[in-house]
Structure 1
Amino acid sequence: MNEKRRTLLKTIGGSTAIATLAGCVTTDDSDDGSSGDGSGDDGSGDDGSSQPTDGAGEATLWVDLLDAEDEDVDGYIADFEEETGHVINKEAPGGELDEQLDTSIPAGDGPDSWIWAHDWVGRFAVREQPPFLYDAADDLDVDLDVYTGAAQEAVQFDGGVYGLPFASETVTLFYNEDMVDEPPETFDEMVEIMEEFHDPAAGEYGLSYPVTDPYFTSGFLQAYGGDLYDEANLEVGVDSDEVKQGLGALETLFDYVPSDPSYESQIVVFADGLAPFAINGPWELGNLNEEVDNLGVTTLPTVDGNNPRTYSGIQMFYFSSMLADADQERIDAITDFAEWHTTSEEVARNNADRHGYIPVLESVVEDSDLSDDVQAFAQQVDHGVPMPTHPDMDSVWVPVEEALSRVFNGDQDGDAALDQAAEEIREQL
């Protein structure tokens, strides 16, 4: 997945601040939750305003979320602290999360936990000098069976449990109900509607879609059964006939998006009512519901009868190697908070209602009261595949993104671009 995605989302404005979860005890600090110097941004811990009670511990959590998500985490932490006496110091990483981890953990001043999708588990779990993750299997009380099967798998690697899951995410189809009477069920139907609205000379387009990002385009690339990376067999599939066929479908969509494929340029045209469709993730639900009067969400249309196989990510609390030498109270503080957060039905439902988070807590997944939007994303998750966690996957993202850029810009044909990408990937492995 594009590791800069969440930072990009924050730079384009994010969700406006809204009230925290009903019943939560909010903190005194009502800013946006950011702290460029890495100091606690929720008013606890470093400034002495909150200290753990006897027998409780204090731990640090790094988050890089949209404003509304960040506010709710403040509320969850406040509730947890009041119930348990533990203290969780929530901080912003102060830059790109992976880069800050690369600097802080070797220096011994990294966080005890951070929030990110599961695709880092494999490469961080095998890193030994220094280790990045902590196996908390012996410190957890929760039975992993309370989570969906995909979520259970996502937080484990080679027998270790390196975090706890709280949501899944993927991309699917948004549509403007004022422009589209019925969402398309097939790719051809979608093309027909895009053709009706596409008029670049007037600043109008058929689609908003960051088409050179492999995470966003994985569904179409893998629609015919090919895998960018076959984790079961540890094989690169970028140059397979099936992926090349998928790129053929994706190239059709190239004709209907703005000339700048970057995330910011794409999302704004849909938010401004200048495109009938957008392909994006649940993190944009709050923003788009504010910008688009009648927003619809549905699964991606079938391509020659095939459901696009989008990559899905499992959002999780990672357990940092900073815990390896920590006292038990500190370990308990962060593992207890992760358990409290990820097993709370109230938290899961609130995150689904307010942020479009797709629940991974089984008791909530089975709840038919989830909104239509969240159910649409959940259905797309069912059609898709989890992002591979094997460290080899790190070598796949950039060559595929560069290949898509060359095709989008007309510098290379699709088959040749994928052949070149596959060769580059295999040379790195």
Structure 2
Amino acid sequence: MNEKRRTLLKTVGGSTALAALAGCISTGGDGSDGSDGDDGSDGSDGDDGSDGSDGGSQGTATLWTDLSDGEDEAITSYVEEFESEMGHTINKEAPGGDLDQQLETAIPSGEGPDSWIWAHDWVGRFAVREEPPFLYDASDDVDVSLDEYSGAAQQAVQYDGALHGLPFASETVALYYNEDMVDGAPETLEEMVSVMDEFHNPSNGEYGLSYPVADPYFVSGFIQAYGGNIYDEENREVTLDSDACKQGMDALETVSDYVPADPGYESQIVAFADGAAPFAINGPWELANLSEEIDNLGVAPLPTIDGNDPRTYSGIQTFYFSAMLNDADQSTIDATTGLAEWYTTNEEIVETNAAEQGYIPVLSSVVEDGNLSAEVEAFAKQVDRGVPIPTHPDMNSVWTPLTDALERVFNDDQESGPALDQAASEIRENL
């Protein structure tokens, strides 16, 4: 999960635009782990019809990805394993450029993929497209019960009763700390500020914190720490200018004083990776990279703010089912859904991804087993304290005004309260 994937969340192309999610559905079958195919959950034997109406012919499907190097290497090996076990052919491609823009062009022209991997924040945005449609409802094709996944993951892949993908991991930001510089993770913001004071010396290239403070996804936990919501999905209201959110912005300004002058992602993460800051606030997609750079790396949930847990946004990584499947052969549908079922319900894959990629499992059997690293457990705790990225299409209008407001505040061009007022006004005008 690289910089591009995160920053896309706040651009028009990658902005969140999901709608209110329907209740969870179960598509039948027990498919608890998908690893052996005995119950047909991986579509390998077809005894229960899970391989489609054509008697189990082998299919060819296209999968688009936009992943970090480590993630890409891992998914490539798993795709090859799936092909070997199931006989299907998966053409995995990285289309280049912004994935969402590539989809916007390719699907209407009939040249899009059968599936792609991204966080859940596009389900509603694409589900409301009718001419042309962008997503496929696989409710009648998937042979694994959605009860195998966590509740939030079940909801994330559905829209208005339709099943548009299968989930495989959750993600949010938490606190990284360098154990060679600090004894442990601070439990409160006051403790964190005290430690940052000791290290912050910009004239010597030393800082208290690495944190992309102009990115709404990253700072959502602070803004929403006092109970406010950037967007109130339940009531379909813009609440960014609430008193609670303004309190959160005040807390954010407290820590933003300790970051490098360039708020960009790369400038921030390099400071921590190089040992120039004791703390970083970032996501699990950096775990493997940072572990190579820092010998004694720790991860913890974000410290409390006036006794409140920061309510960070979380995303659910998903295999999307493309509208290309509406006109595809059954064998292609089987290959597409079969890969998603096999990958998302295979306990060995889920556990390996957690250990090597920092993926936070959403497969209930793995979560309940509790055999996760301390780092992944810390991210999982932060996910529990946060909130899923809102799923209503109105979120499409939220990211850019909020990003602009954060940049004005960070650059001392505007006070935080008026900046949120302006952002909220712009959002309402765009709805």
Matches for 1:256-275 after TM superposition, within 5 Å? 256-275=258-277
CA displacement, residues 229-252 of structure 1 (integer Å, 9 cap, x when unaligned)? 111111111101100000000001
2:22 aligned partner: none
1:84 aligned partner: 86
Aligned partner of residue 55 in structure 1, secondary structure: coil
- Are the equivalent residues in 1 in contact too, given 2:2–2:285 (CA < 8 A)? no
What is the identity, as a one-letter code, of the residue corresponding to 2:4? K
Query: Could you tell me how far apart the structure 1 residues matched to 2:246 and 2:6 are?
Result: 29
Matches for 1:205-354 after TM superposition, within 5 Å? 205-354=207-356
CA displacement, residues 329-349 of structure 1 (integer Å, 9 cap, x when unaligned)? 000000000000000000100
Deviation for aligned residue 1:5: 3.0
What is the identity, as a one-letter code, of the residue corresponding to 1:197? F
1:195 aligned partner: 197
- Are the equivalent residues in 2 in contact too, given 1:300–1:308 (CA < 8 A)? yes
Query: Could you tell me how far apart the structure 2 residues matched to 1:282 and 1:367 are?
Result: 20
> Which of the residues 375, 387, 393 maps onto 1:373?
375
CA displacement, residues 155-185 of structure 1 (integer Å, 9 cap, x when unaligned)? 0011110000000000000000011102100
Deviation for aligned residue 1:4: 3.0
What is the identity, as a one-letter code, of the residue corresponding to 2:240? V
Query: Could you tell me how far apart the structure 2 residues matched to 1:288 and 1:65 are?
Result: 17
- Are the equivalent residues in 2 in contact too, given 1:7–1:96 (CA < 8 A)? no
Deviation for aligned residue 1:83: 1.1
Matches for 1:354-373 after TM superposition, within 5 Å? 354-373=356-375
Deviation for aligned residue 1:2: 11
Aligned partner of residue 142 in structure 1, secondary structure: coil
2:109 aligned partner: 107
1:4 aligned partner: 4
2:425 aligned partner: 423
1:199–1:219 Cα change, 3 Å: same
1:318–1:54 Cα change, 3 Å: closer
Identity of aligned residues (%): 71
Aligned partner of residue 132 in structure 1, secondary structure: coil
Query: Could you tell me how far apart the structure 2 residues matched to 1:382 and 1:148 are?
Result: 11
Aligned partner of residue 107 in structure 2, secondary structure: helix
CA RMSD of aligned residues (A): 1.5
Query: Could you tell me how far apart the structure 1 residues matched to 2:222 and 2:268 are?
Result: 18
Query: Could you tell me how far apart the structure 2 residues matched to 1:295 and 1:157 are?
Result: 39
What count of residue pairs does the alignment treat as equivalent?
385
Query: Could you tell me how far apart the structure 1 residues matched to 2:152 and 2:371 are?
Result: 22
TM-score by length of 2: 0.88
Query: Could you tell me how far apart the structure 2 residues matched to 1:363 and 1:232 are?
Result: 30
1:379–1:54 Cα change, 3 Å: closer
- Are the equivalent residues in 1 in contact too, given 2:169–2:318 (CA < 8 A)? yes
Query: Could you tell me how far apart the structure 1 residues matched to 2:160 and 2:329 are?
Result: 25
Query: Could you tell me how far apart the structure 2 residues matched to 1:322 and 1:390 are?
Result: 24
- Are the equivalent residues in 1 in contact too, given 2:174–2:282 (CA < 8 A)? yes
What is the identity, as a one-letter code, of the residue corresponding to 1:269? A
Structure 2 unaligned runs (5+)? 9-54
- Are the equivalent residues in 1 in contact too, given 2:114–2:323 (CA < 8 A)? yes
Structure 1 unaligned runs (5+)? 9-52
Deviation for aligned residue 1:93: 1.6
1:23 aligned partner: none
> Which of the residues 53, 62, 65 maps onto 2:64?
62
Range with greater deviation from structure 2 (342-351 or 65-74): 65-74
1:177 aligned partner: 179
CA displacement, residues 194-228 of structure 1 (integer Å, 9 cap, x when unaligned)? 00000000000000000010000000000000000
- Are the equivalent residues in 1 in contact too, given 2:2–2:68 (CA < 8 A)? no
1:75 aligned partner: 77
Query: Could you tell me how far apart the structure 2 residues matched to 1:55 and 1:425 are?
Result: 50
Higher relative contact order by CA 8 Å / sep ≥ 6: 1 or 2? 2
Following superposition, which runs of at least 4 residues in structure 1 exceed 6 angstroms of deviation? Answer: none
Query: Could you tell me how far apart the structure 1 residues matched to 2:136 and 2:109 are?
Result: 16
1:417–1:2 Cα change, 3 Å: farther
- 2:389 matches 1:387: yes
1:226–1:327 Cα change, 3 Å: same
Matches for 1:407-422 after TM superposition, within 5 Å? 407-422=409-424
TM-score by length of 1: 0.88
Deviation for aligned residue 1:107: 0.8
Query: Could you tell me how far apart the structure 2 residues matched to 1:2 and 1:286 are?
Result: 12
- Are the equivalent residues in 2 in contact too, given 1:151–1:165 (CA < 8 A)? yes
- Are the equivalent residues in 2 in contact too, given 1:6–1:65 (CA < 8 A)? no
> Which of the residues 124, 129, 134 maps onto 1:132?
134
1:224–1:269 Cα change, 3 Å: same
CA displacement, residues 56-108 of structure 1 (integer Å, 9 cap, x when unaligned)? 10000001111111111111111111111100100002210011001101111
1:3–1:175 Cα change, 3 Å: closer
> Which of the residues 151, 167, 170 maps onto 2:169?
167
Query: Could you tell me how far apart the structure 2 residues matched to 1:400 and 1:145 are?
Result: 36
- Are the equivalent residues in 2 in contact too, given 1:121–1:162 (CA < 8 A)? yes
Aligned partner of residue 120 in structure 1, secondary structure: helix
Deviation for aligned residue 1:368: 2.0
CA displacement, residues 299-357 of structure 1 (integer Å, 9 cap, x when unaligned)? 00000000000000000000000000101000000000000000000010000000000
Deviation for aligned residue 1:7: 8.1
